[in-house]
Amino acid sequence: MRTAQRIIECHDGAAGLTGVIVIDDTTRGPGLGGIRMRPYRSFGAAVAECRRLAAGMTLKNAVAELPFGGAKSVIVDDGRIADRAALMRSFGELVAATRGDYLPGVDMGTTTADLRLVAQSGADVSCGDEDPSPWTAAGTHAAIAAAARHELGAASLEGVSVLVQGAGHVGGALAARLALDGADVLIADADPDRAREVAAAAGARIVGPGEVIGAACDVFAPCAIARVLSARAIERLDCRIVAGAANEVLDGEGADELLAARGITYVPDFVANAGGVIHIHALRSGWDVPRLAREIERIAERVTMLLERAGRARTTPLAEAHALAARRLHRDAHEEAAA
């Protein structure tokens, strides 16, 4: 049975802390998920985002066969935080009070230095000092290669055009991997310097950030912001495959079906971008790098399996990924789809 989301509100006026921890599911183990810190228009908006992200972590960890449940936390950055260390220690007390049900890592707006402060209050935290992004990029690369093999019959990515949206930690490393394959790499970033730097290193062509949707390519790899694929954006896409690292790529229910109706194969974001959580598990389990690389490559097997199942059952890869997660969580598949 699915466990109900636990929502822990975090308020400490003295430390300037306003935030929330959402523990979505601990069926498979402690709820693993990063601490996001950014401004929100309201506390309700912060809670809503945190709940969606926590549910996504449950799916990600279940599909990746990791011994983790799903959770997430959000700290509201109101621009007036005077003592960040005090805030992180105060937050750490609330994490410690979950008695291991919440296992935090870094996310947008937080660093490993913040995690060390959280740990000072007795909380177990999930990361070392190493950046997981190259491993996330490796997993996304494996997902793209598998989808291209399945959908385009491409034995390798040589000559396959891939548009990477976001030349950041993940997008930059992904572009470099694709260039090594001989792919035709296109890169877009809101920061023109960043785009130029990554394009020069990967021999990529630059696409304007406003021209991404509708740019012709074989594979669109969103690696920047959330919810880039609304119904309107999907109508304008000119690609065969969507497979990227950004969390929450789809904007709105049924977006996967709209993509399928247009003949575009969507690799679920939480399947493609699991390299980072696999890396966390590797660190905690003492895996060596070759073992980690092999486990990350298994993302390709999962993508192929989901695309085959979706083809046979005339469903979408997202529906198949939800069903797979549901089985691994011993949930009823219908309940999962509606969650």
Contact 172, 196 (CB under 8 A): no
Helical residues (DSSP H) of 121-237, grouped into ranges: 133-152, 169-181, 192-202, 231-236
Three-state DSSP at 98 gives coil
268 near ligand NAI, rule: CB under 6 A: no
Pairing between β-strand 6-12 and β-strand 17-25 as defined by DSSP bridges: antiparallel
Residue nearest to ligand NAI according to CB distances in the complex: 168
Convert residues 225-264 into a mask of x (bound to ligand NAI by CB under 6 A) and - (unbound). x-------------------xxx-----------------
CA end-to-end span of the chain, whole Å? 13
**Considering CB under 6 A, how many residues would be counted as binding ligand NAI?**
24
Comparison of 6 and 227: residue with beta carbon closer to ligand NAI = 227
For residue 300, give both structure tokens.
Answer: 């390709």
* Residue number with CB closer to ligand NAI (190 or 333): 190
User: Strand, helix or coil at 262?
Assistant: coil
CA 12/CA 56 separation, integer angstroms: 28
DSSP code, position 117: H
- With CB under 6 A as the contact rule, the residue among 194, 196, 284, 309 that binds ligand NAI is 194
Torsion angles phi and psi, residue 208, rounded to 5: -60, 145
Applying the rule CB under 6 A, the residues between 85 and 144 that interact with ligand NAI are 132-133, 136
Closer residue to ligand NAI in complex, CB, 92/276: 276
Q: Residue 41 and residue 45: Cα distance in Å, rounded?
A: 7
Q: How far is the CB of 135 from ligand NAI (least distance, A)?
A: 7
Asked about 72 being catalytic, the answer comes back as yes
Question: Which residue is catalytic, options 28, 36, 60, 72?
Answer: 72
Cα-atom radius of gyration of the chain, to the nearest Å?
19
CB of 18 to ligand NAI, least distance (A): 22
Q: Which of 29, 109, 209, 311 touches ligand NAI by CB under 6 A?
A: 209
Paired tokens of 266: 């969507």
The interface with ligand NAI within residues 157-176 (CB under 6 A) comprises: 165-171
Q: What is the full DSSP assignment across 280-296?
A: HHHHHHT--HHHHHHHH
Residue 223 touches ligand NAI, criterion: CB under 6 A: yes
Identity of the residue, 90 or 273, whose beta carbon is nearer to ligand NAI in the bound complex = 273
Residues annotated as part of the active site: 72
Contacts with ligand NAI by CB under 6 A lie at 132-133, 136, 165-171, 188-191, 194, 209, 223-225, 245-247, 273, 276
